[in-house]
Each structure stands twice: as C-alpha cells, then as structure tokens.
Amino acid sequence: MTGPSGPDAATNEHGFRVTVTDARRAMAYLVAPEADDYIAIMAVLEASVTDMTPAEVASALREASTPLNSDTVETRLDQLRDWTAASARTDTSRILRYADLMARNWRWTATPAGRQVQRFYTTVLAATPTMREIPLSSLNRVVASLEHLALTMPADAMVPDAAEAAEHIGRLFTSHDDLDMALVGAEDTLATLADRFDLDDAATAELKQLLVEYATRIAGELESGSARAHRALLALQPSFAALADSAVAASDARALIDRGALTASRGGRRSDWFQLLAWCDPMSGRAARFAMRLVRALPGMHANLRRLHASSATATGRARALQLARACADPRFGPAVFLAAVGDHPWRKLYGEADDDELMRAPSWWDGPPVEVPDLLRAVGRTGARGRAGAARDHAAARAEVAARRAARRARHAAAVREVLAAAPGAELSDGAARVALAALLAAARIRAAGPRRDRRSAQRDGLACTLFRVPGHVGLVRAPTWKVWLPGRAVVFHAVGTRVAAPQMTAPDPDARAGIRLVREDTA
Amino acid sequence: MRDDFEAPQPSSAVRGRKAWSVEVDAEVSAALRALAARPWLLPGRDDEAIAAIRRNLDAVRDALNRLGWVLVVERDLIRLRKSSPVRREAWAATAPPSATCTWFFLLVAAAEAMAPRVALASLVTAARAAAAEAGLPVMHDIAERRAIAAALRMLDERGVIEQVDGDVDGFVADEQARVLLGVHHTRLLHVIANFAEGDPADDPAGWLARVEREPDPARRMRRRLVDDTVVYAADLDVAEADWLSRRVRGDDGAPLAAAFGLHVERRTEGAAFVVPTDAFRYPRELGPLPFPTPGTVGHAALLLCDAAAVDGDRDPAVPGWRAVSEETVISRLTEWGQLFGAGRGGWAGEDVDNPTGLAGKVRDLLTGLGLLRVDDPTPDAEGGLTARSWWFSPALGRWASLAAPPRRTQPAAPLNQTLVFDEPISQTPEH
C-alpha cells in the first residue's frame, strides 16, 4: 500500500500513502496508522441500516467505547471516502436555505466494497477461526436434489419442468455452499491441530475427539454422499447447459442477468456445474481431501497422546528436555547426565574366548587358559597387509633392451642375407651369413621335387630363398669359415624371396625324395 | 532374591511352535549383540537387524527384560532404552562435550512443536528460544554453531531429526544455510529414556544417583556383565559378590550370556562376558573401544600391557594388579616409538613425536575398557608428590604373551633374563 507518492496518491497526516488506484484501495484502512479509528467507524457504518451523519457516527462510537470527536470522525470519513470504503450523499432534508447547499450536509454509509472488507476483517481476520458443525443435512439435500434432477431429466437434455428444476437447483447450490464452507473450516481446524505435536491435554483431547468421534463419521458420510452425487452429476453432465439456462430462466432477475447487470446465482452457469462435479469427485474432491487430512492427523494425535501419557502434566517431554539441557551445561556432570538420560550408549566388550569350559575351579587370569593374539598384531601392530596394492613393476627398460636386441638381430640378419645374395657360388661366407644360407638350404632340401619342373626344389627362410637344381655331375657348395656343405649332383642358387632364377643348362629330373647334404667340418675335411 | 532365568526359547516355540530353526538361537544372539552395540535401529540402515528382531521379538524381549531394559518396537523404529552406563566416569570421558549435550536437548525441546519438514534456521531459532526459556545463554558465536551442528549430527544418527536436503556442516559457517530437516515426532518421544524425580540442573549428582539406582543386586550384576568389559570381584558389595560366586556360571549368568552369544570368562579376580571371535565381523560391534586392535594406540597399549604383565609392581592389597610408574610408561613409549619409527610401516608420526600424548591416548583406551586405573600422585615423606602409577588389570593375563611371566606350572624366569622394564621383579609371580 505504501510507496512513493504520485499524482494520484492520497496521503494522510501520518504520511501514509496509498498508491494503488484499483479496488485494493478499499482495504487501505485496515493497515493505516489510524486503523483502529477507521475500523471502528466502518463497524458503525456497516452495522447501520441507514446513512449516518458524522455526529451520529461519533455518538455510536461513544456507545461502543471508542470515543472520537466529530472533527476527527469527519476527517476519518473523508479519508475512507478517498479510499472508496465509504460514500457520502447530501441530506436533502436538511437543506432549507441556500447556504445549506454549500455546507457539508452529508450522510455517510459504507460502500459495497467497504462492507465486504469490513466483513472479511470481522469474520476472517479478526475472529478466532472456529470450526463450524458440518451440516450433513445439507449433504442430504445436495444428494437428493441431484438424484431427483438425474431421475427426471429426459434423454434429449431438455428440462421438462423448469420451475421445479430451478427450485432443486437453488436448493442444491445453497446447500452445497453451506456444506463447503463448514467443511473448509473443519479441515483447517483439523490441519491446525494435527500439525502441532506439542498439544496440551485439552488440545489433544480436542484433536482426539475431532478425529475419533466426529471427523471419522463425517468422512464416511461425505464419502458415500459424494459418490452418489458424483454419479448423478455424471448422468446430468450432457444437460449442464440446459440446467444452467433453466436456472436463469426461472430467476426474477432474468432480464438484468441477460443484460449483464447482474450475475446469475450459482447454478446459472455451466462452470458452476463442472465445479460441483470436481467437488464431488471420489478421488480428488473435497470429501477425499478431507479424509486424507483425517488420516494424516493420526500420527500427530498419537504422538501427542503418547507424549502426554509418558509423563505427568507437570513434567512433559519438553519440560524434561529443558531441565536436562540446563543440567548438561554443568561441566562436571553434564556428559554423565546426558548419557544417563538418553540411555543409548553402546556396550564395551572384549573379544576372543579362552578354552576354559572344562575348568574345575576359577583360576586367576594370569594362570587361566589364554586367548591368542595374532603374532603380527603384537609384533608390529597390524593384522595383515594394509594399504593399496603396489603399482605394477615397470618393465620398460627390459622391453627397450629386448627391442634393441631384436633390432640388432634383424640388422645382422639383413646384412647376412645381403652377403649371401652378393656372394659368388661357392665363395666363403661369414659365419652368420653361412648360417642364414644353411637355413634356407635345408628348407629347400626338404621340399619334394614335383610338378612340371621336377629338376628343382625351392623354398625360403627368414627372407632368403634357395633353389636346388638337379645337375648330374655337379657338386653344390656352401662355405663357412669352419664348415662346408656339399650337395652332390645339385647346384645351389640363393636369391631374393619372390624372385625366380634361371636354371642351369644341364638339369635333370630329381629322383630323390629329399636332397642329400653332406656337412663337413673344416678341421675334419 | 533368587531370580531364575530360563534360556530364551525360539519365538516360534513361545507362540505355539509354528516353525523352528536350529539357527534361531544364533539369530537371536546376533540381534541382541547388534542392539547392545547400536541401540537405535532405523529402516534403510539396519533393515537386516530389524527383520531379525521382529522375527524373534519374544526371545529378544525375554533377554532384555532380565536387564530391565525396554525395547521399543515401532513401525519405523527399534530402540533399546538402556539403563545409565555402569561406569559413569569411563563412559562420560568419551561422551560429547557439555555444550553439544545441552544443544542436543534444546533441539529436542524445540523440535516437538515443529512441522515434520522444517528449515534448519527455523529449528535453531526455536532452540534458542528454548534456551532462553531454560535460562541458558545464547552466544551466536562459532563455538555455539559447532555445538549445534554436532548435536544435529547426533540426532541424525538416531534418526530423530534427519538431514533431508543440504549439509548441516554448512551451518557452522552460515546460519542461514539452506538445510531441510525432517522431524520424526514419534521418535522424539523415545529420546529421553531415563528420568528421575527432581531437577537434574539443581542437583546433578543426586539426580544421577537416583537414575542409576538399582536395588536388585542380580540385575546390577547382569547389567554390568552385559554392558561392560570386566567385573572385578574386589569392587562388589556382599550381595553382588555372592551373585558372582554362585550364579555367574549357573542359573542366571550363563543363560544370559548364552542369549547374547557371549562366553562367560570366570576368574578369581572377577568375570567377563566376552564376545567370541567368530561372533563379530567388525570391531565396531564391540563398542567404541575395541581392544586389542591394530594401529599405533592399540599396539602401544598391547605392548604396555605385556610389559606390565612382566615387570609391573604388585601390591597385596590389590591382588592381580600390576603397577607401573607414569614416567616408565612414557620412557618405554619413547623407546618403542624410535624402534618402530614414524610413517609408513611404523607408528603415527605425531605419536612418535609426542610420547606423552600417546600415553594419554593409551590411558583413555585402557581406562575406558576397565583394564587400567591411574592413581593420583600422593604426598611423599619429603613433601613432594609421588609418581603417578598406572595399575594394569589382572584381566590382561587373558592374552597370551611371549613376554608374559611364566604360568604357575612352569619354572619362574631367572633374574638375569632380559626384561622390558628396568626395575627388578620378584622371582615368583604373585597372583
């Protein structure tokens, strides 16, 4: 309400400013600094059946033990008019002279908005909410009216008897309003009590009575009544428009409603019927919610009852907790008081049983059967390996060394192959090259001579190919520093893998399964 | 008063023998042990234990009734309301600080009138109003916020005020932290388990004495044996000693221990209900102070116990107990700290650097377990104060040790044997 003053702001003598310009201005007097004066004046205006002069208002205030002088009352009334909570009309009966036209011959009354605000304040804000009795007779009237309408409504959704239908509709919605208002109040009361877990004896008894003796029965009646009403409304659902029209048609203010001057009472709009349908829904309607609140209130009631039963009225759980809190502040006994009061300390136990079942008497602990303690625990204070497993050993150096050796071996082998390929037939080879040549030679010697060219056998080993040709009278030779290989009747040709070599001129088919080889060591040759 | 106790029967047998399982006894024992270690069982956290207790409710209640403990079984809660701790000082030493305990009860008082879902700020405001009602100061400082946060965590552990959304720890830095709490009003009813006549704030000692009062010596003994580690015969009054001598392994103690699946260890110096090794999986099932355990403090305590068993001084007035001066304890801890080293594979660095602090931790552990009693210094003839002595329990003899004194059946150790402590010992052990 308060804020920076603007061109439309109304400011009273205390600097209270109302900047809003809509209907909320009517509520300003409730929070103004002189709210007590305004509320008292509005109470007088709202209670009066006629318009009142400021003097009459001041007199009524004195009778209500809220004395205000006439000037103050006039000032307050002017402010209320500015806030649209009160209105003034000239009292023509007091205008007897011209001068009377200029005087403030006003009679005051509360505006409709002002009356609503005042009633809202007195019934909702100011008053202590009290639970109204839930009128089950209203529920009965709702159900009866709906079932009658559903029974008499024809299939073509036309209202057969408009007057009778209007009467039932009026009774239906009036009863429903009554029921709903009481139910909301009861639900709020229930929730207020159920959400508190520190109720005293009286409040707990009230909650218990509410739950056990009253609300339970109401919930049952509501459930069954709402279910019947919901069924009837489902049957009537196609006729909601017709029913709303018949309600309006039967109204004495039909012309005003049609012109928009008045709004039809409840039941005169389709939306009213759909709202009623939702209200009666067995799953989510008001009755279902009331029953749910009822169930949710049970733990609170139980907690309060048990708390009250667990202690006398003079020593509730809260009182004891506060006493214990003060006692725990004692540095000497505080922790002991805590442990004694709470009583949830874990036990302290030794472990490991001795083999003492057959003892004839109770020996000393020093002499009795002992309990073993793991040697590791006694020696180093551990019960086993602890900590994370160590990282795997790093073999990178070994791998690098192996790779280097392999590379050197490959280099030596390549050099040997090159030496073999470059050497003349029968020339002496180095030891390594001779071994490479011998491996290829042996591979070729094991090959069977077959196919159209049976004068040769060819194979490869480690990147070096060898072909043996059958040449009668020729002796093949591979020479190493310390040994020689002779191949009688065969010529030896080393060549690169994937290449083919030309055969000597004098070849013949090879009759042997395997080529014969003679190895001669140099010292025995 | 003779209080016969029958071994708990399977619940099915009580209810009419609908079904029987050979594993029922074991299940009942496990359920009772779970309750003794954790008196608040909540759905979603302790479903397995809750189901076991519900299956064997009659047998569980039979056993707890012998102790005078009430078992609350609600739809969404199982709570064991125990009597106050048997050794007040020992349990209080490891209890939360006074401020936290105070705010615990203030929050409980405030939560009664709260909605089931409440903002942390609203609850704290109500708790501060309750503090004003109780005449307690409200400081609005960080120490107070820490105490409130700790109290809320304690309530959360009990499932009374649960943290639904946000983090309670954020409250320490910001009073308007966006934390949604759930208040369980039915559980609030069970927070205060024991209360006596009178105002505990006016006379806490007297109030504690009234709360702890238990006229039945048999029930006192049962509670001590079930709740505590060891009961020493020298600490008992006549009626309790009579119960210990006649009924601990007879018609009362043994069946109760069997119901919990515990082993009765009866010795000259006293008795203990111990948890068999195969009856627990995690050390926390033994309570907040399991022993022997790994770790620096546990290892140091075990070594000290072994050393005291070998070289502790004896006093005929307290048979079985071995005394070691505090200076010797600290010197040995210093020596062992250097021996084992700090860091990985050794002891904790802070304990190696601070043997006195380590001694305090070991003292807290062993006194909490009832295995150690520390004497206050007394005036000596020269006007000074005697050294503080650590008295090690005879129950330490239950753990076999290579360094322990020889058993009575074996020859005594020679005098020139290398011992852990420097002081000489008598040749024949005194028991």
Assess contact for B288 and B92: CB atoms under 8 A.
Answer: no
Q: From chain A, pick out residues whose CB is under 8 angstroms from the CB of B85.
A: 339-340, 345
Q: From chain A, pick out residues whose CB is under 8 angstroms from the CB of B134.
A: 322-323, 325-326
pLDDT at B355 over 90: yes
Q: From chain A, pick out residues whose CB is under 8 angstroms from the CB of B89.
A: 336
3-state secondary structure A74-138: HHHHHHHHHCCCEEEEECHHHCCCHHHHHCCCEEEEECHHHHHHHHHHHHHHCCCCCCCCCCHHH
**B139-176 residue pLDDT tens:** 999 999 999 999 999 999 999 999 998 888 889 988 88
CA distance A13 to A11: 7
How high is the pLDDT of residue A283?
86
Q: Exposed, middle or buried: residue B13 (CB in 10 Å: 0-12, 13-18, 19+)? A: middle
User: Which phi and psi angles does A293 have, rounded to 5°?
Assistant: -60, -35
User: Is the Cβ pair A299, B186 closer than 8 Å?
Assistant: yes
Check CB contact of B231 with chain A, cutoff 8 Å. Answer: no
Q: Which of B194, B184, B41 is nearest to A302 (CA)?
A: B184
How high is the pLDDT of residue B28?
94
Q: How far is A298 from chain B (nearest CA, A)?
A: 11
Q: What is the DSSP letter of B310?
A: H
How high is the pLDDT of residue A102?
62
Name the closest residue on chain A to residue B88, using Cα atoms.
A336
Residue spans of chain A under pLDDT 70: 1-15, 92, 94-103, 127-132, 155-160, 310-316, 384-392, 451, 523-525
Q: From chain A, pick out residues whose CB is under 8 angstroms from the CB of B300.
A: 381
Q: Does B292 sit behind a cis peptide bond, omega within 30 degrees of 0 on the bond before it?
A: yes
Q: How far is A292 from chain B (nearest CA, A)?
A: 17
Specify the higher pLDDT residue, B73 or A207.
Answer: B73
* Cα first-last separation, chain B: 33
Quote the tokens at residue A223.
């459930």
Confidence of residue B387 (pLDDT cuts 50, 70, 90): confident
By Cβ distance, the residue of B188, B200, B226 closest to A323 is B200
Q: How far is B188 from chain A (nearest CA, A)?
A: 9
Assess contact for B167 and B145: CB atoms under 8 A.
Answer: no
User: Is the Cβ pair B208, A337 closer than 8 Å?
Assistant: yes
How high is the pLDDT of residue A23?
85
Quote the tokens at residue B239.
């009626």
* Beta-strand runs (E) in B44-179: 70-74, 77-81, 117-119, 161-165
In terms of DSSP H, where are the helices of B113-179? Answer: 120-134, 142-157, 170-173
Confidence of residue B69 (pLDDT cuts 50, 70, 90): very high
User: Is the Cβ pair A365, B106 closer than 8 Å?
Assistant: no
How high is the pLDDT of residue A134?
81
Those of residues 151-210 in B touching chain A at CB distance below 8 A are 158, 185-186, 188-189, 191-195, 199-201, 204-205, 207-208
User: Is the Cβ pair A343, B83 closer than 8 Å?
Assistant: yes
Quote the tokens at residue A155.
């299939």
Task: Report the mean per-residue pLDDT for chain B.
Answer: 86
How high is the pLDDT of residue B22?
56
The count of CB pairs under 8 A between chains A and B is 309
Q: From chain A, pick out residues whose CB is under 8 angstroms from the CB of B159.
A: none
Neighbours of A254 (CB within 10 A): 15
Q: What is the DSSP letter of A182?
A: H
**A420-478 residue pLDDT tens:** 999 988 888 999 999 999 999 999 988 887 767 788 888 999 999 999 988 888 888 99
Q: Which of A319, A140, A15 is nearest to B105 (CA)?
A: A319
Q: From chain B, pick out residues whose CB is under 8 angstroms from the CB of A322.
A: 105-106, 109, 130, 133-134
Q: Exposed, middle or buried: residue A416 (CB in 10 Å: 0-12, 13-18, 19+)? A: buried
Q: How far is B167 from chain A (nearest CA, A)?
A: 25
Q: Which of A476, A471, A397 is nearest to A441 (CA)?
A: A476
Q: Mean pLDDT across the stretch B170-199?
A: 90
Q: How far is A281 from chain B (nearest CA, A)?
A: 29
CA distance A83 to A80: 5
As a dihedral over the C-alpha atoms of residue B397, residue B402, residue B407, residue B413, rounded to 10 degrees, the angle is -120
Assess contact for B210 and B196: CB atoms under 8 A.
Answer: yes
By Cβ distance, the residue of A325, A337, A350 closest to B291 is A350
Those of residues 89-148 in B touching chain A at CB distance below 8 A are 89, 91-92, 95-99, 101-106, 108-109, 112-115, 130-131, 133-136
Give the SS3 label for residue B290: coil
Regarding an ipTM greater than 0.90, the answer is no
Which residues neighbour A293 within 8 Å (Cβ) at sequence distance 6 or greater?
A187, A190, A191, A194
Q: From chain A, pick out residues whose CB is under 8 angstroms from the CB of B268.
A: 362-365
Q: How far is A51 from chain B (nearest CA, A)?
A: 49
CA distance A169 to A244: 9
How high is the pLDDT of residue A182?
84
Name the closest residue on chain B to residue A367, using Cα atoms.
B407
How high is the pLDDT of residue A451?
67
Q: What is the pTM of this model?
A: 0.65
- Residue A470: strand pairing partners: A490
User: Is the Cβ pair A381, B347 closer than 8 Å?
Assistant: yes
* Cα first-last separation, chain A: 128
How high is the pLDDT of residue A1?
47
**A291-342 residue pLDDT tens:** 888 888 888 888 888 777 765 545 567 888 999 999 999 989 999 999 999 9
